[in-house]
Copies of this chain bind each other. A is one copy, B any other.
Amino acid sequence: MSVELTSNSYGKSAIRLLKVERSNVDRVHVIRDLTVDIAMSGAFTDVHVVGDNSRVLPTDTMKNTVYALAREHHLGEREEFGALLAAHFLDASEAAERVEVTIAEHGWRRLEVNGRPHEHSFERGSAESRIAIVTAVRGRAVEVTAGIENLVILKSAQSAFRGYLKDRFTTLEETSDRILATAMSARWRYRTGEVAYGHAFDGARRRLIETFATHESASVQHTLYAMAAAVLDERADVEEVAITMPNKHHLLAKLAPFGLDNQNEVFVPTEEPYGLIQATVRRGD
């Protein structure tokens, strides 16, 4: 029998890093809380087939490198630290043809004391993570994708679901007023070249949120598409947007047996099952 290795990838995942950045002029601290994943692929056939490790940069070394480079460099934008790491690993491993660095940043808010922001005390923010994915392929321009993971948003008006296909197994009632809730994941790919990453991220996120809030939704698909299109409209430096939105169903509590109406007031949030809606939208010609 003949078998062949058709794809391979290895690396270190879930490298946790907190960096405290101190100002020189006051006592204000800034904290950066990142989870870094490194994945490499390339000419690693002999590693798999004959157990030859001579071209393998250990994943433990990758981990050490993340901490060391975080010490040697100002982190800057996630995309910049990601690009630094990707370039380093492409250098460090001759056999690697492709290095993908994914950075998720976790938010912290400054605590307030006597109504003023405190110098060095923080509260963890929501479960949202801000994502940068830098893909470096030997001999090609680096590709940069940004995104948001697990942004939980809900609108309690301007969401309908009507006029759909019905068959023997349909029991869902049409509604012109339902709760729309999701834990959005979005990824947007930047065009190659100079991008003001911080500014671009803020603009993209703002348009996602504002579109979600103000859209007259006929379905999750309808709103998801509008959100993606809004990012493309806002940011000329974005080429493609992919969004995933689970439909986190909120069921109307059934109160009729108790002689009570329920005019979209009392809902049962549910975890499973959930709808799952995904689409990719790109700039047309």
Chain A residues close to B by CB (< 8 Å): 1-22, 27, 29, 31, 33, 37, 39, 44, 47-61, 63-65, 67-68, 70-72, 92-93, 108, 111-114, 118-127, 151-158, 161-172, 179, 209-210, 212-214, 217-222, 224-225, 228-229, 232-233, 240, 246-247, 250, 253, 255, 257-258, 260, 262, 264-285
Contact status A31-B126, CB under 8 Å: no
Task: State which of B5, B21, B119 has its C-beta within 8 Å of the C-beta of A280.
Answer: B5
* A68/B152 contact (C-beta < 8 A), A221-B47, A275-B11 known: no
Q: Do A165 and B58 have beta carbons less than 8 Å apart?
A: yes
A8–B243 CA distance with the chains assembled, in angstroms: 10
CB nearest neighbor in B for A220: B10
- Residues of B close to A57: CB separation below 8 A: 164-165, 167
B12:A276 contact, CB within 8 angstroms:
yes
Tell me which of B166, B247, B260 contacts A72 (CB under 8 A). Answer: B260
Expressed in whole angstroms, the Cα–Cα distance for A83 and B44 within the complex equals 37
Query: B residues within 8 A CB of A112?
Result: 209
Residue in contact with A255 in the complex, picked from B67, B93, B213, B275, CB distance below 8 Å: B67
Chain B residues near A33: list those with CB within 8 A.
269
Query: Which residue in B8, B31, B49, B179 is a CB contact (below 8 Å) of A154?
Result: B31
**Docked pose: A18 CA to B71 CA in angstroms:** 33
A279 touches B8 (CB 8 A): yes
Are B53 and A169 closer than 8 Å at their CB atoms?
A: no
In the complex, the answer to whether B71 meets A170 with C-beta atoms within 8 Å is no
Bound: A33/B14 CA distance, A = 23
Contact A13 B68 (CB under 8 A): no
Chain B residues within 8 Å of A166, by CB: 61
A233 to chain B, nearest CB (A): 6
A153 to B212, CA, bound (A): 30
Partner of A54, one of B29, B164, B253: B164
Per the bound structure, the CA–CA distance linking A262 and B276 in Å amounts to 28
Q: Which residues from B are CB-within-8-Å of A52? A: 163, 218
